[in-house]
Structure 1
Amino acid sequence: MSAGSNPGAFGAQTRISLGASLRAGTDRTVAALYAITLLLVGFGLIMVLSASSITSYVAGQGFFGGLWRQATFALIGLPLMLLAAAMPVTFWKRWAWWLFGIGLFLQLLVFTPLGVEVYGNRNWIQIGTSFSAQPSETLKLALVVWIGAVLLKKEPLLGEMKHELIPVVFPGAVLALGLVLLGDDLGTVMIMAALVIGALYFGGVSWKSLGVIVLGGVLAVIFFLVTSPNRMARLLGHADGDSDYSGLGWQALHGKWALAGGGLFGVGLGGSKAKWNWLPAADNDFIFAIIGEELGLIGAILVVAMFVVLALVMLRVIARARDRFGKAVVGGVMVWIIGQAFVNIAVVVGILPVLGVPLPLISSGGTALIACLVAMGVVISIARDGTLYQRELAEGKLLR
């Protein structure tokens, strides 16, 4: 009997066909996440090599010193991303509280003898002469996973402000951000605050609670700005067009000059003049300036486009997520990585004052790269579960 004369066979074939279609769509989503992440990391390695070659050579590490260091971190981070992606979503839900506790513990280490200051911020730990790490990067990931788990657990109570704010905001987020702020790293705190708001928004918290959180955050930022002479000097200097060439305006001005020198098509890969010790943090916070100088406006726009595409794919993952946990975690990670990317770019082009945040997945920096890669692994884990969930929904509807 043909499938056309057998309704049961036709239904079975339809279910198989639809299931295959959903699997293909899912595979495309997961493949897109892998592809964009690997593309950004690969591009970052090339640009780190170019931006750090001169300073690495002067430091006695050879032209490839910066590249080897960053490549080592990538070789650690990529397997961890694959491992995180292979984990079931239930793993992240089950261990969320432990991860948050570990993140807080690591951040506390910066206030022990292991802690060191970098550019005035006590946000690093140093073990011996060869190992250093920035615990706040690990805390970002732990915080967003924990928020997702708490929102899922309290789902029946959401809609009441006290349950939306406790314990996610008080004491959770306040404790995490406060520990980082004690190290005087306001730039990282602002990114973490945006991450929290993003996780709460996509996790379905009410507008009333979000309004209270945003208002409190804005007032806190204003307070910590006006009570810090250094931050106020940077803000006022930025408002004055970074005219203090020999002082606080040096880095911002040289970053803009590097961008302007690139023109439409750039001076060519490796041809930057700014990286010859004219631009501080050329391979880190200001690597976008080197991208613009060497690859021109076209190259800079392509970098922006990659982050935009990554955001769109993450939005698709959020829309297909099984529950509030997946939506909150992916939303938080999206605001973290995409938001931080655009803050970094805004600093380089002169829209914002210098904040000291790297360009995710591209800038040099081991802890930041590894944390972002593991975060992308968690997003992929949720994307895979979302695909399974969509397939279950579709098959359930057909069976009815």
Structure 2
Amino acid sequence: MSVQLLIAQVLLLSLGLLGIAAVEPENIVDHGAKALLALLATLLVARLRPRTFLKIGPAVWGVTLVLLLLVFFIGEGTQESGGTRRWLDFGGPFRFQPSEMAKLGLVLMLASFFSRRGVQNKLISATGMIVVTTALVFFEPDLGTSVLMFGLGIILMYAAGVRITKIGGFMLALGLIALPFAGLYLQTHPYILERWNGYQTREEDVSVGLDQIGMAHRDLNFGGLWGLGPDAPRYEYFAERTDMIVASVGFTSGLLGVAMLMFAYWLIVATALEVAHLASRVRPMTPEIHGASILAIGAMFMVVGQAFVNLCVAAGVFPVTGVPLPLVSYGFSSMLTMSLALAVIHSAMREVRRHLPEESPDALPLSAD
């Protein structure tokens, strides 16, 4: 397993606990228990070999498609999501957001597909997988997650070895096909334009999302360099615990905590890139090694791509999307899925290092079998 990846996960989960302690201290025990379960899931699933992930990829992807379809019939919404249907509730702890699982399902499916079939003349099938998965999330509607899902598919294509010119043509064709339907979609879901208009005009009375950004900036400013701690006097309300949890982290632990947050995500990126680098040195390049490299890059983008969007929202660069901060925000669906993504990277790292020739130099010092 990769020590640096474990450090990143523990850092993120710990910072999430600090953030929740400031926003909703009554939920700290619940959040802590779920964080421990997520960490345990990472340790257990990381013991599997990449060939297992590649083998079960089509089945996992198929299950997530069924769950996404069920959302349209028996799905439930929340106040935070504006009443849109994004959740399945089977009672007790069996309440989750299928779109979170669908990200991992798409990673496993495309990695399995490209490792078995290669990248030559196989783009129509891969494109269909990306479009179907993205469309089911898009029509929930969940625009932020669907954009991330589409980006994830593009990254997986590139990681598999598809030429950038072919990817560009694929994106252009889909854009031209989708353009006539964009106006109808925005008319059906006016809250998207309301958020965008609020972001553009910077008028707090236009959008609740902009008000959230203002509160996030306030909390970050009050945190200062070292933070005020989770026991500092609370304001009447804090920025939202999902979209703006980084503001609570900054309030409790200051600039130091935010820097640690960024460092943890950098460790995830560095580990996945190391897997891809080492995989390129393995000769011969077997389908399993190729698949392990795709899995690592896809799982990394799942985590860091979503973190990038969330942090840009908190900074006011992007309009509010409702995308949680991976391994930090309150919510078990996202936390568990992202923890499983880290387990995939652990597995890929171990497999690639096992196949390195003996004369190859070791990987980064923080990585270990």
**TM-score using structure 1 length:** 0.80
How far apart are 1:123 and its partner, in Å? 1.1
Counterpart residue identity of residue 31, structure 1? V
Give the aligned partner of residue 35 of structure 1: 7
The 3-state SS of whatever aligns with 1:166 is helix
Give the aligned partner of residue 223 of structure 1: 182
How far apart are 1:68 and its partner, in Å? 2.2
Q: Distance in 1 between matches of 2:147 and 2:65?
A: 17
The answer as to whether partners of 2:156 and 2:298 remain within 8 angstroms in 1 is: yes
Q: Distance in 1 between matches of 2:22 and 2:42?
A: 26
- 1:207 maps onto 2:150 in alignment: no
How far apart are 1:394 and its partner, in Å? 4.7
Q: Distance in 2 between matches of 1:356 and 1:190?
A: 12
Q: Which runs of 4+ in 1 moved over 6 A?
A: none
Q: Distance in 1 between matches of 2:165 and 2:72?
A: 36
How far apart are 1:351 and its partner, in Å? 0.6
Q: Distance in 1 between matches of 2:127 and 2:209?
A: 35
The answer as to whether partners of 2:46 and 2:344 remain within 8 angstroms in 1 is: yes
How far apart are 1:159 and its partner, in Å? 4.0
How far apart are 1:130 and its partner, in Å? 5.4
User: Of 97, 104, 129, which aligns to 1:141?
Assistant: 104
- 1:311 maps onto 2:283 in alignment: no
Q: Deviations over 1:153-207 (max 9, x none)?
A: 221xx244xx2x221111x111111111121111111111121111111111111
Give the aligned partner of residue 141 of structure 2: 184
Q: Distance in 1 between matches of 2:173 and 2:85?
A: 25
Q: Distance in 1 between matches of 2:141 and 2:211?
A: 22
**TM-score using structure 2 length:** 0.86
- 1:293 maps onto 2:251 in alignment: yes
Structure 2: unaligned runs, 5 residues or longer: 283-288, 362-369
CA-based RMSD: 2.4
Q: Distance in 2 between matches of 1:246 and 1:237?
A: 5
The 3-state SS of whatever aligns with 1:35 is helix
The 3-state SS of whatever aligns with 1:355 is coil
The 3-state SS of whatever aligns with 1:117 is coil
Counterpart residue identity of residue 124, structure 1? W
Q: Distance in 2 between matches of 1:127 and 1:304?
A: 36
The 3-state SS of whatever aligns with 1:284 is coil
- 1:344 maps onto 2:307 in alignment: no
User: What number of residue pairs does the alignment pair up?
Assistant: 346
Q: Distance in 1 between matches of 2:66 and 2:101?
A: 11
- 1:45 maps onto 2:21 in alignment: no
How far apart are 1:80 and its partner, in Å? 2.2
Q: Distance in 1 between matches of 2:52 and 2:302?
A: 22
User: Of 65, 69, 77, which aligns to 1:117?
Assistant: 77
- Where in structure 2 are the equivalents of 1:1-400 lying within 5 Å? 30-53=2-25, 63=26, 66-113=27-74, 115-118=75-78, 119=81, 120-128=83-91, 131-155=94-118, 158-160=119-121, 163=122, 165-170=123-128, 172-215=129-172, 220=178, 223=182, 226-227=186-187, 228-244=189-205, 247-271=208-232, 273-274=234-235, 276-279=236-239, 281=240, 283-321=241-279, 323-391=289-357, 394=360
The answer as to whether partners of 2:88 and 2:98 remain within 8 angstroms in 1 is: yes
How far apart are 1:317 and its partner, in Å? 1.3
Q: Distance in 2 between matches of 1:130 and 1:92?
A: 25
Distance 1:298 1:81, change over 3 A: closer
The 3-state SS of whatever aligns with 2:112 is helix
The 3-state SS of whatever aligns with 1:294 is helix
Counterpart residue identity of residue 315, structure 1? L
Counterpart residue identity of residue 352, structure 2? G
Q: Distance in 2 between matches of 1:296 and 1:73?
A: 25
The 3-state SS of whatever aligns with 1:167 is helix
Identical pairs, percent: 28
Greater radius of gyration (CA): 1
Distance 1:247 1:356, change over 3 A: closer
Structure 1: unaligned runs, 5 residues or longer: 1-26, 54-62, 396-400
Q: Distance in 2 between matches of 1:266 and 1:218?
A: 45
